Structure 1
Amino acid sequence: MHNLIEFLAKYNHWFVFILLEVISFVLLFQYNSYQGSVWFSSANVVSGKIYEWNSEIEAFFSLSQVNEKLVLRNVYLEQQVRALSDSLTSKTQDSSYLRKSQMVLLQNYRLISAKVVSNSITKADNFITLDKGSADGVKKDMGVISGTGVVGIVYLVSTHYSIVIPVLNTKSNISCCIQGRDYFGYLHWTGGNSKMAYVDDIPRHAHFKLYDKIVTSGYSSVFPSGVLVGKIMHVYNSSDGLSYRLKIELSTDFGNLRDVCIIDNSLIQERIELFHAAQDSIKPKEE
């Protein structure tokens, strides 16, 4: 306390000077209209600049959240554009025109946006690492899509990361069908070209044509039906001659994959379990 009093006594003339300056400025700007308007304008400029800087800082730190929302919106818009394009190119007003768009379909599911941390396309068994994990609600066997189509299935999950088995993996096996025709088979990749894969086990009585679209069948608990996979580029006979093998041009560009969405498959799983329960309930009981 003694030191504080000594300090104030030593520099009291400076404190008096500052106080008088403040009082003089208040009187100057308060009772003189010109000086007051100058002060008001200058203060507005300074405060406006401060608010602008503050807004830019907040916007910078919220970019990650904005980007996540844009990824989700991009998926919806990509699917809507694709559905509208199919409708416009259709020459007949059949059920395909009234088919639910993929955007409406995906709105029924919770989508978790994620970024690709690492990715490979040149190996026989490629993997993709995403920056979302169990802390974000990601679980094993969830489907992963991009704005242009199917990517793969979640294989391993840690707290903040997850590993995906993409279509470009020889162990990948996704149930697909020909859009609008309901003939289904299984998507496989045999290595080599990252833009091509094959759909096996298409029945011989199936009717389709080149460039028909291949979509997910919805028969598994991973993907809803109707998510784009690719289009038919060539048709082969199976090795046993009992079915067709379709060569597919994949709609997803795995070499330029950055942002994806993980599908919360709880609703799909619930539907599949209900279907199996209904099947079990109508099976004849053994005597």
Structure 2
Amino acid sequence: MRNLLAFLAKYNHWFVFILLEVICFVLLFRFNNFQGSVYFSSANAVAGKVYEYNSSVTTFFNMSQSNKKLSERNLILEQQVRALTQYIATHHGDSLAMEQCQKQALAGFKLIPAKVIQSTINREDNLITIDKGKADGIHEDMGVACGTGVVGVVYMASDHYSIVLPVINVNSNISVMIRKRGYFGFLHWKGTPSDIAYVDDVPRHARFALGDYVVTNGYSSIFPPGIMVGKILHVFNSSDGLSYRVQLRLSTDFGKLRHVCVIDNSALKDKALLLKAAQDSLKPRDTSKK
């Protein structure tokens, strides 16, 4: 103990110097926007590389199981495509109808594949890091989905990495609707568990049933309509009694999420801007100043 105290007394000026340097850097990067942005970009790039290497190692050891599941899923999808093609050809006399419908649904949308390199599911402010950024055409407010449904929205992007605000974040707010019913509301997550979320502001006159599916409604400039969100488990009254709160089981398993697609929303933004321009042109003009 005496030797330790002697060592600290001998080199106390170095410890004070290091402490003051740390305080200076904290103040510099926290209270100056330019230096803060430089720090974020550099730290994001370094952290992104570390997460990418970690994800690569994890993916390598899980590759055998993932390949098995992909093979099974491909077999099921091939059987479904074959059955649907035969059904359409039999009842409509047009074996190309299904292919044409798929092309129309995806017309105008560019999908940018990306890999999840870091994510959390047990916090209120969960975030997901993906390995694509501005250099790949990704920018803020782009929708993100996977093969099973909605994932979230791009919150921040650097040149080669992006941060996604997932559905399982208390700040997430996505407009959705009950499929085949047309009633819409807003998707929110209230905290753990990671597979349960809620749709608020569903009107009291809405008619739907447990087991109905909830999808995106396409009213925003982020997601096209019809992307799967989840399945209705329970229905509650809202706190003010004026609407319903619907409990969902999310279709996306965030604990196993590895691959996603970022949706290029250029077509959706053009549509939203055109609709806003039309609404503005129909507003009554103020003639009181004439």
TM-score range normalised by the length of the shorter chain: 0.5 to 0.7
In the TM superposition, residue 179 of structure 1 has moved relative to its aligned partner by 0.5
Residues 1:144 and 2:133 are matched in the alignment:
no
Structure 1 distance, partners of 2:257, 2:145, is 10
1:208 maps to what in 2?
Answer: 208
1:284 maps to what in 2?
Answer: 284
How has the CA–CA distance of structure 1 residues 178 and 108 changed in structure 2, closer, same or farther, with 3 Å as cutoff?
A: same
2:199 maps to what in 1?
Answer: 199
* Secondary structure in structure 1 of the residue aligned to 2:154: strand
AA in 2 matched with 1:263 = I
In the TM superposition, residue 180 of structure 1 has moved relative to its aligned partner by 1.3
CA contact (8 A) 1:125 1:171 kept: yes
1:224 maps to what in 2?
Answer: 224
1:111 maps to what in 2?
Answer: 111
CA contact (8 A) 1:102 1:226 kept: no
2:180 maps to what in 1?
Answer: 180
Structure 1 distance, partners of 2:270, 2:80, is 29
AA in 2 matched with 1:160 = H
* Secondary structure in structure 2 of the residue aligned to 1:276: helix
In the TM superposition, residue 284 of structure 1 has moved relative to its aligned partner by 1.0
How has the CA–CA distance of structure 1 residues 139 and 153 changed in structure 2, closer, same or farther, with 3 Å as cutoff?
A: same
Larger radius of gyration: 1
Structure 2 distance, partners of 1:250, 1:191, is 13
* Secondary structure in structure 2 of the residue aligned to 1:286: coil
User: What per-residue deviation string (whole Å, max 9, x for no partner) do you get for residues 31-87 of structure 1?
Assistant: xxxxxxxxxxxxxxxxxxxxxxxxxxxxxxxxxxxxxxxx9xx99x97x969x99xx
User: What per-residue deviation string (whole Å, max 9, x for no partner) do you get for residues 11-32 of structure 1?
Assistant: xxxxxxxxxxxxxxxxxxxxxx
Q: How does 1:1-287 map to 2 (within 5 A)?
A: 104-287=104-287
User: What per-residue deviation string (whole Å, max 9, x for no partner) do you get for residues 205-224 of structure 1?
Assistant: 00100111100011111001
CA contact (8 A) 1:102 1:227 kept: no
* Secondary structure in structure 1 of the residue aligned to 2:246: strand
In the TM superposition, residue 105 of structure 1 has moved relative to its aligned partner by 2.0
AA in 2 matched with 1:209 = A
How has the CA–CA distance of structure 1 residues 219 and 136 changed in structure 2, closer, same or farther, with 3 Å as cutoff?
A: same
TM-score (norm 1): 0.65
- Identical-residue share of aligned pairs (%): 56
How has the CA–CA distance of structure 1 residues 212 and 264 changed in structure 2, closer, same or farther, with 3 Å as cutoff?
A: same
CA contact (8 A) 1:141 1:154 kept: yes
How has the CA–CA distance of structure 1 residues 153 and 102 changed in structure 2, closer, same or farther, with 3 Å as cutoff?
A: farther
In the TM superposition, residue 103 of structure 1 has moved relative to its aligned partner by 7.2
Structure 2 distance, partners of 1:267, 1:205, is 33
Q: Please, which runs of 5 or more residues in structure 1 have no aligned partner?
A: 1-70, 89-97
Structure 2 distance, partners of 1:234, 1:216, is 19
Give the aligned CA root-mean-square deviation in angstroms: 2.7
How has the CA–CA distance of structure 1 residues 103 and 130 changed in structure 2, closer, same or farther, with 3 Å as cutoff?
A: farther
AA in 1 matched with 2:188 = H
User: What per-residue deviation string (whole Å, max 9, x for no partner) do you get for residues 248-271 of structure 1?
Assistant: 000000000000000000000000
How has the CA–CA distance of structure 1 residues 154 and 204 changed in structure 2, closer, same or farther, with 3 Å as cutoff?
A: same
Q: Structure 1: which 4+ aligned runs deviate by more than 3 Å?
A: 100-104
CA contact (8 A) 1:117 1:131 kept: yes
In the TM superposition, residue 201 of structure 1 has moved relative to its aligned partner by 0.1
Structure 1 distance, partners of 2:233, 2:101, is 23
* Secondary structure in structure 2 of the residue aligned to 1:177: strand
AA in 1 matched with 2:251 = S
TM-score (norm 2): 0.65
User: What per-residue deviation string (whole Å, max 9, x for no partner) do you get for residues 167-197 of structure 1?
Assistant: 0100000000001121110000000111100
User: What per-residue deviation string (whole Å, max 9, x for no partner) do you get for residues 131-174 of structure 1?
Assistant: 00000000100000000000000000000000000001000000
CA contact (8 A) 1:233 1:248 kept: yes
